[in-house]
Chain A
């Protein structure tokens, strides 16, 4: 309910409502962008541009067509994909299968940087099978369609839906574990 109200105020160009939404989602959005762009500095800039774009296009969001977060997530992924296309990342496809969002776990452990909640993330993904990490990355972090994900993972389209369901359920179980 409160979110609906915030979004409504944001659509009426209420900057403080937008600030609240920014506080709620900016970290997520910037992270998703970096999963694709793989350059933290650049991701920060793109992330900012994305929120500017969101502000400018607030009127084009329609609550009956999807969640607000889904809407901005989509804008962010498109911006990130534009970025890597413009820079013609040659090896992108090749490396994709290896570069999961969980990769930050390893790199961050080495640098012992506190930016990533490594403990929390570990708890979330520890028991997720690799195929779950893959499908979640493709659908949520990279904006693959069902068909594209099916092709990437070499599984039937129908399986994408059910596998994703069970993977998200597992994720939710992990969240509940204290």
Chain B
């Protein structure tokens, strides 16, 4: 393109006058970007028009301060703006409504979430309790089976202990494993000892009568199956159970003898 010819054509003057078509305007603007001479020419033309329009102007514009409030309060002045105002109000109401709804929704979701969390905690606790129960049952079952196995052992001799004067309906059983030197006392048939007292088990030699303490049936009330394991290294001829003050006694209180059984000599 010949830039000088383009400038001389007079199109730039018309560009500044604003009488070109949109297409021509875009073309001139593009050339102005591409060729600095064209931009310089446009500026010079515009400058001349500015100079002429300024110097021929007999009108003093209002100060900008007069204009400024009009910029801020435009809404009330024109026809279009009240509609705009209404829409903006409408949309702001809508906005407020939406945000309130959102807040309520968020709060609802939050409380729901909290509820669910505490429910989960509760269920977890219940779960733990159930697991504990299962474990306890397992342990209890194991213990019972152990016990059963022990009692079924071929080396065991069973000695029934009958109720005595103090409590004729009482009874107990001793399962004695001589080889392991252990005695299991099944005290199911004894009444619960009063506070401050405890049952004490004795190994007895009959002639002469010599009692040897084998131990106490501690925590009688708390024991589920009322079977107590005790060591018995003695060569017992009989077993007796007496009620003694807590902690046990050195020698049996014979008038508090609850159950007594003689080992059969077979």
A residues engaging B (CB < 8 A)?
Answer: 15, 18-19, 22-23, 25-35, 40, 43-44, 47-48, 51-52, 55-56, 63-67, 69-71, 73-74, 101-102, 104, 108, 113, 115-117, 120-121, 124-125, 136, 139-141, 143-146, 161-162, 164-165, 168, 171-172, 175
Contact = CB atoms under 8 A, between A and B. Distances in A.
Interface in B26-67: 26, 29-30, 42, 44-62, 64, 66-67
Contact of B17 (A28, A55, A125, A140): A140
Given A33-B59, A43-B59, A55-B71, A161 B53 contact: no
Q: Chain B binding site: helix, strand, loop or mixed by DSSP?
A: helix
B57 A27 contact: yes
A66 B25 contact: yes
B56 A104 contact: yes
Contacts of A67: 15-16, 18, 42, 46
Given A69-B49, A102-B56, 14 more contacts: A19-B64, A23-B64, A32-B53, A44-B62, A65-B29, A66-B15, A67-B46, A70-B17, A121-B56, A136-B52, A146-B14, A146-B19, A164-B14, A165-B13
B68 interface: yes
Given A143-B18, A146-B19, A165-B9, A27 B61 contact: yes
Contacts of B168: none
B9 A30 contact: no
B59 A44 contact: yes
B33 to A, nearest CB: 9
B44 A172 contact: yes
A48 B53 contact: no
B236 to A, nearest CB: 108
Given A34-B57, A47-B61, A144-B19, A56 B74 contact: yes
B19 A171 contact: no
- With a 10 A CB-CB cut-off, give which of B15, B42, B49, B66 has the most chain A CB atoms: B49
Contacts of B22: 65
B59 A48 contact: no
A51 B53 contact: no
B42 A165 contact: no
Contact of B61 (A26, A74, A162): A26
A44 B15 contact: no
Nearest to A64: B29
